[in-house]
Structures are given as structure tokens and as C-alpha cells.
Chains A and B, each alone.
Chain A
Amino acid sequence: MSKSITLDQPDERNLLDRMAQGTIGKPRNRLEGPDKVSGVATYAAEFPASNAANGVLVTATISKGEVVSIDEGSVMDMPGVLAVISDQRMIARPAQGGAGEAPVQQVRQVDYWGQPVAVVVAESFEQARDAARRLKITYNADDAGELVLNPEDAKVWEEAPDTETVQQGALPQAMAEAAHAIDATYTTEGHNSAPMEPHAALAEWDGTKLTVHASLQMLNYNIDELADSLGLDAENVHLLSPYVGGGFGSKLGISPDVAAASVAAMQLGRPVRVVLSRQQVFHSVIRRTETTQRLRLAADSDGRLQGFGHEAKVTNLPEEEFAEPVTQASAFLYPGQDRVLKVEMARIHRMTAGSVRAPGEAVGMQALEAAMDELAEKSGIGPVELRLRNIPERHPSDDIPYSSRRLAECLKAGAEAFGWDDDDRRPAQRREGEWWIGTGMATAARIHNIAKAEASVTLMEDGTAVVATDMTDIGTGTYTVLGQIAGEMLGLDPADVLVRLGDSNLATGPGSGGSWGASSSGSAVQIACEAIREELCDMLGCKDEDLTLKDGFAIHSNRRQSLPELLNGRNIEKLGKLEPGDTEDDFSQASYGAFFTEVAVNAHTGETRVRRMSGAFGIGRVLNEKTAKSQCMGGMVWCIGSALTESMMFDRRDGHLVNHDLAEYHVPVNRDVPHLNVIMVEERDPAASPLQAKGVGELGICGGAGAICNAIYNACGVRLRSFPMTPDKLIAELPDI
């Protein structure tokens, strides 16, 4: 029994606000929090499996070429070693997010330094790791001098497969005629997702069926990716990811550990565990591409954009379809009839580029918002005012309306909370000892999507409920929020709702990615609950409008009955299904916000410290104030990293990553992060999802690094166009002391 909604029209019913339980939106703690901090929650590699062997990946030490031979004899005699496997069912690259099919598999055909070429399996992890290092491999390496390893050496730039090129009007002319024009080129470096839990898999094979505990974000796609890689039927593959210790895009598709553990388990007939080392997490999964971005902004004397150009260059390995959609928000955020948007990609031999949190906007918005600050300065218009003047009526290329968009409110609420002065923007005015102090702001924008989702909800005879879907909780709060939605719809304390996730045998959810998780899987839960309510109405002979469910009681026409009494020994199980529909094309949908920050720049050493940061965000309905704010805070922390420290450093001679661990790849630490003030600007977006909620998981990272860039300029008068803005770049521009 199921109920399905296709979002062909905005869903104006606003069911959640009509309910009586009052749990939705409340800042509830994460249900699984105590289990996680006390170590009870079991992550992929921690599942007990008797007799499990351990596999360690062997990765290529050449940039391109072929494996000529693998000398198994070099390690097979070592104590504990069980097998050396270099099998065509293994994968040489991770699957891209949403691929649903095997990625490139030829592990013996090397395309990048660090590519998996084999797995060594032994009784103990230590034995396997030692043997993996000692395994002798002969390569036939291509001449590194002939390879394109660096973006600056690329000669061929192709149009990016998935990003629409916009060529509208005549931008050069608009630039020439503009009262105020900015033509600036910004660069960003590669980023790594760097999740705390390394990618890991534990595979068991019973001769027919394969069961894999893995750390994955989107089981709905992962199952097909793995089945396709192994040549199995998807029905014979069972994936379990009840807890995921962070993914940030790097666990969207299956990673090499998953296929390697599976192949080894099938070959050895016993459970095999493969955990990537920290270095392999950096080397053998994904990177966010570095970018070069040219921004052209042509404004009239009032600062209104007449021309708008955003052209980006990105890279990936040969054969990969993914190209960082750098201009994604530029397509809809600002006006400008004369318009050029373009992403070009070159093929280089570095590890696979893929989705890292907020692919596109994370780097596109920071450059765009820094360029907007340049325009504000040039036009003499305050940065907030400039943005308020540039909120288009309709989508500038597609001529469609926006769904809810509280950008102006975010700009104003953020400015007020921060104490922003939009008028006096002269740089280098405030000094405290060695430190220049300055402020900066930026807009946040991130497209909103929903994905097909199913969830089952069972109202149990005892008056509790069970929600079940293969959706994952990657630390974002899915368990908690789905419990709140079911609780609200069915009149239950969320403590009485058991949420089961991360098991591919359960109803097919949307997976965690692209910020669509909560609004999609939450809508499926809501729809299932609607179906349950319908059945209760049938039992009671009333209409849904007349049924109140609260605190475990059904109330209608002055009658109050407990759910167990009403159910009388029956369970009601319903499947809710959400399908994206026409609203996707009929509206431009995005989450919006604004960042405000104050930084201190050391006039002597060029060190920058963020002193305070506020963000105001409009994300449609807030499902849980605490988890939503935490997502925004996490995003703002990423902004600090992207602005000041994070950079994947490749050796230009062979494309290997030199800073492949958390000691040298610098994500922000506590001391880098000041108090983060997050303001949620409430809204309802009926076009976005039946919940009227939009995406929140990525919005907080989309633009904030630009605010920091602008604050650095305001502090010390140095306008850097190269992220991260490290001391070496600043002292090159700062005056002598």
C-alpha cells in the first residue's frame, strides 16, 4: 500500500503547519549522538565478523602506464598473507555521485599516481599493510614529460559536459559601455573532502549473496555501482551504512575499498575488511578540481548589472563526465541581459575530480562574491545595497519565476545582527597593534533539488512508529529529522519513532548528496504518514482536516482515543513515494543567505584570523533548528578553510599529492573558528518539496570565503584573487614594516 506524489505543482497544503504535535522545527538533539560519542555506534570497519581477513590496497607509483607484472611471490611467503588480487572487477577510480554503474575498472591500466592496482589480503591488518608495501610491481610507465599533469600545461579545453553554456547578447559591448566594469580572474586550489572516518568496507559472501558494510552516502546508486562492477545481480548485493563518519561528497559513489573487499571475499570465501589509509583517502578517492575563474561584471551608474560573465576552467581525468559546475549559481543569482556563462575542462592525470560539498557554488560563489565586492568599491555603492539592487525579477536566461527567495531578508537580517556599516568601506582604517581589522560580506546561494525518494512508515499497534528507508545519515541529522516529521504527522513524541536507515533492503531513498536528503526523504515520510492518516480517517469515518493526532491520541468530533485502542492489535504500514515533477523546470529554486565577517590581518606576518562571522540563511522550512544551524556552521567552517588554508599540493612532475594527510592538508582547527552566529530566516517553499523545505547541507559553504576575501581587503587594502589567502601571498602585497 503506497501513496505517491509527483511535484508537478507547488504543494500549497502545508501539512506540517496544520499538525498539532509541535515537534517539527524544534532544536532536538541528534538521536544517535550519544552512541557516536560513546563509541557504541558501529562504523563500517567495526562490525564484528568472525574470521575476517584484512586487505590493504596497493596503489600506483607512476602517473600513467600499465602494470606489466605483479610479483606475488615477493609477498606470498610472508606470514599471514592469503592473497594478492589484481582483478578486473576491482575499480580503479571511485564512482561519481549518482553514476549507478561501474566506474573505470582497469586497475592495471594506470591513469594517475595513487590509483589502486591490487589488494593484498592477510590474516592481520599489519601483515597486509607490510606485504602491500613490499609487493613488487613492474610498470611500463609513459614518459611523464609527455603527460599533462598540471592545469597550466593543458592545451585542450573542452566544453564541460553537464554545464549549460550561456551566450546571450554582447558582453564585450556591455563591458565597454558600462558605468562601472570589473574584469577579474580568480583562482582556487583543489580541495579534499577529508571526512573523519576513512573509506572502509567489510564484505561477506555466502556463495550467492554479497553483504557489505561500507561507508557510503547513496545506497540507492551504490548497489548498482557495486553489482555492475562485480557482474552480480543487484538483488544479490546487500549494503549496510547505518553510520557514516562524514562523506562530503567523497562517499557518493563506491570507493575502491568497497569493490576490493568484495572481490577478495568472493575469492577467499571468508569476510574481508579493507580500510583506506589516510593517505589513500587523499590519493585514491576524489578531489575538488582547482579552478580559474574570469568574472566580468558590467553595471550601470546605479550599480545594476547589465552584463554578466562567469567563465571557469576546471580539470578531471580522461573519461570522467563530471566537471565542477562552477557557474551553477551565477546562472540565476544576478541579472544582466548580456551574459556569458561557461565551464571548460581539461584532462589531466591527477586523481578523479568529483563532487566535494557543494560542487559548483562552493568555489564559484566565493570568486563571484569577491568580484562583487570589487564592483561595490568601484561604483561607490555599499556591498549590501549593491546586492539588494541586483535581485532579478525572473531568471535572467530561462525567464521563469523564482520559488521562495528571501535573499533580501537574509541580507538585512545578517547585516543587522552583525552590525554592518554599508556606507564607510574605505580599506585600511582600523588597526589594533600589529593587526589590521576589517569586515566583509557575501551572498550565499545554492541550487535546490529534490530526488526520487521512498520511505516506509509503520504505525505499530502499540502506538509507536517505525520509519524505514535506505537513506543514510552522514552526520547531518537524518535519523532525528525523519523522526520529527513522522512524529509531527502522526502525533507522536519523536522518541516513540524508531528510524531505520542505511540498509539497502529498505525502501529506496534519495541518498545523502546535493543537499536534497532531508527534503526528499522527509517528503516521502510525510507522504507515507498521510496515507496512514487516511486509513485512520477511514476507520474513524472522518476527514483529514477533522483529525488531530497528538501525544499518541486520535482526536476528532470531541472524541479522544489512544492509538493502541484505535488500532486494536493492527499495524498500519504505508510506503510514501516522492517524484520530482514540473516544478523543477517551472521555477528557479535555490536556498539563499548572506555572510558577514570580521577579520584581523597581521601587518607584519600576513597571518589572517577570522574574528567573528554571522550567516543568515533562508532554506524553506526549518525541520530542526539545531541540525539546520549545525549544517550552516559546518559550512562556515569550510569557508574559513577554503579562504585561508585548504589547498591540495601536487607535485608537478608526477601529479602526486604531497600534503596527503591531516597534518599538512590544513582544515581549520578550533582556534581558527570564532563564534559563528547563525540566523535562520523562516520561509515556506511549496515548489521545493511537499515539506516546503529546501536544501541546507551545502549552503553555508557557498560564498563565505568571498566574504573573508573582502574583509581582508577592507582590513589592509590588499585584494587577493587567489585562494587560499596564505601569509606568503599577503606579505608580497603588504607594505614594508
Chain B
Amino acid sequence: MRPFDYQRPDGLDHASLLDRDGATLIAGGTNLLDLMKLQVETPETLVDINRIGLDKIEPTGEGGIRIGALVSNSTCAADPRIRADWPLLSRAILAGASGQLRNKATTGGNLCQRTRCYYFMNIDMPCNKREPGTGCSALNGRNRIHAVLGANENCIATYPGDMAVAMYALDATVEIAGPDKASRSVRVRDFHRLPGERPELDNVLEAGEVITGVTLPAPVGGTQLYRKVRERSSYAFALVSIAAALRMEEGAISRASLAFGSMAHKPWHDLRIDAALTGAKPSDALFDHVADLLLEDAEGYGENDFKIPLARRTVKAVLREATGAST
């Protein structure tokens, strides 16, 4: 860990100190502090945002709900409104990390958590995400947990989290305040990025911007499943995860929204999949078609090749369960 300055403002205004070079926000610290100890992150100034408020869960005018950026993952998952109307989110959060971590982790911090790529977290290894231009060690290295969708040779890291996958399926919106106090909203589906030519950028936040909250649109009802595949049954990141919100009417799927975790540099959402499901009658042929759409451009890098058949099997399992087809 490098020495750093520490500030703890009492309101959002001060947090816009952030536009000073080298300042980094700290919320729960569960990701950032680990990375600081490893010297992957070396901020000169930490701006602790735990006292700026933004820790409420409140209804929106449109029947949705707004989750403040500093609401802890435990609080969010346990909120009776979330559990009743957006159970997918609650389930996804509870599938992640451990009770202790979720008590500290926050909504904003969770969205911004960094990849678990082994090489990203080891400063003795080249890594384009950590040090652009040095190369990607994972490409020809150990890449069991890496991306099979949307990656390129610049970076094959995944976004590893669970909460955001549910938010993708629920089509949430991220609210962001800028240094000039202007605020903007970004659909969560547009919040994270693919590596492209700038693998160092995980998401679209600009210097000085702060996430203030996440808004979920009105409840969609139906069956909501979060399926997380992993060899260890808790306290492990997903090999593949799927968030599904799906409604059946008269034997057909009347509404569907699926998102996929640990497959790409961002949670994966493909409108074509939702469209193919909507209005269709559940069948293995349909589910295979969905898997084809998901995986048509999938590419493994050796050790992670298995994620492609695993995702196919898992999406079929999830769709069978969600539509009540037999397992």
C-alpha cells in the first residue's frame, strides 16, 4: 500500500474534489482496499463517501424504486419492497460474496468492482487493463475465469459481479453526478464497456463523476431466477451466471429479459434473445435457438472454452425452470 491522503466530506459537493488528479472514491472498500494493498490501485487521495447520504431506498413516481449508491448490499437484498417486487435483484446480491462482505459493499461500489483476472491483480505481470500497452498476460496464460464474449486480444477479462447482472435484466438506470453538479442518467446496459481499444476503462464514468443511485423501473412480475454456476457453493465468483425475468401467459412467454454474468467485460444482454423468447411457446428448440443467439460469436481462449457449453446448458436449464418445462 502506498501512503495516501484521506478526506471524508459530509455532502456530495465535496466529493467533487474528485476531479483533482489521483483522487479515488472509497465506499465499502471491499474491492478498493484489497487492490491498494496489492498496489494495483495507488490513489494519492481517498475520498470517503460514506457520510454523503445516498443511503436510502425510495419509491420513484413511476412505480419504480431508487436505490441510493451507499445502500449496502445486505440492506438492499433484505429490503421487503425489493424482495417482493424485484426478487431477482435480491437473489443476485445474495448469491455474491459473503455476509460480511455484503454488509460493507455498496450499490455504487458493486457496479464499479474490478475484474478478478489473476494478472490484473498481480503487478509483476503485464496487463493492458492496469498498464495500457504492456500486453495481456491472460490471453496465453491461465484464463479459466475469463471472457468468451465481446473480448479481444487487448483484454479478455470479465466483469465478475452478480448484482449488476440482475440490474441488466431489470433494465435499471444508473444516476451519476458530475463535478459541475450536473447529473446524468445512463441505462445500466450502457454503463459497463467492452474492452475495445481502451481495456483500462471498465465503464463510462468520467473523472470526477459519482454514482448517486440506481433506479429500477416498475416491477415486471413473472418468474425471476438468478442462477449462478460455480464449483464452490458460496464465496466464489460465477463461472457463468444468468438473470432471468420471464412471464408466462396462456402457455406462451409473454415477456422475457435475460442477462448473463462472467461471460464478458460487462454483463451480457442481447435484445435478440429477449425478442426471440417473447411471444414464443417454450420448447427445447426455442431454448437451443436462444443459446445459439447467445453464443454465435463466442470464442474461448483455451482454459475457458468450457464456458461456451456451460452457458448453453445453463441457459437451457434456466429457461426450462422459468417456463415450467420439465427438467
Contact = CB atoms under 8 A, between A and B. Distances in A.
A606 B311 CA distance: 12
Contacts, number: 97
Given A668-B232, A670-B234, A726-B231, A604 B141 contact: no
B310 A672 contact: no
A664 B34 CA distance: 14
A670 B144 CA distance: 24
Interface in B277-323: 306, 309-310, 313-314, 316-317
Interface string A546-582: 0000000000000000000000000000000000000
Interface in A631-690: 644-645, 649-653, 656, 658-659, 663-664, 666, 668-672
A732 B303 CA distance: 13
Contacts of B118: 649, 658-659, 664
Contact of B232 (A126, A129, A433, A645): A645
Interface in B210-263: 229-236, 239
Main SS of the interface on chain B?
A: loop
A664 B235 CA distance: 10
Nearest to A649: B142
Nearest to A605: B229
B313 A607 contact: no
Interface in B1-33: 1-3
A602 to B, nearest CB: 8
A601 to B, nearest CB: 12
A102 B314 CA distance: 53
Given A604-B313, A604-B316, A737-B317, A130 B231 contact: no
B235 A669 contact: yes
B86 interface: no
A672 B39 CA distance: 32
Contact of B234 (A607, A651, A669): A669
B314 to A, nearest CB: 6
A728 interface: yes
B232 A669 contact: yes
B232 A672 contact: yes
Contacts of A658: 118-119, 122, 141-142
A130 B232 contact: no
B301 to A, nearest CB: 14
B327 interface: yes
Given A605-B314, A664-B116, A130 B229 contact: no
A129 B122 CA distance: 15
A434 interface: yes
A165 interface: no
B124 interface: yes
Interface string B98-139: 000000000000000000101100111100000000000100
Contacts of A604: 313-314, 316-317, 327
Interface string B26-47: 0000000000010100000000
Contacts of B233: 607, 609, 669, 671-672
The 10 closest A-B pairs by CB, nearest first: A728-B306, A658-B118, A604-B317, A671-B234, A671-B233, A61-B124, A666-B232, A605-B229, A658-B142, A604-B313
9 contacts: A129-B1, A130-B3, A130-B39, A277-B37, A607-B231, A653-B140, A656-B122, A658-B142, A727-B239
Interface of A: 61, 79, 126, 129-130, 133, 277, 433-434, 603-609, 644-645, 649-653, 656, 658-659, 663-664, 666, 668-672, 724, 726-728, 731-732, 736-737
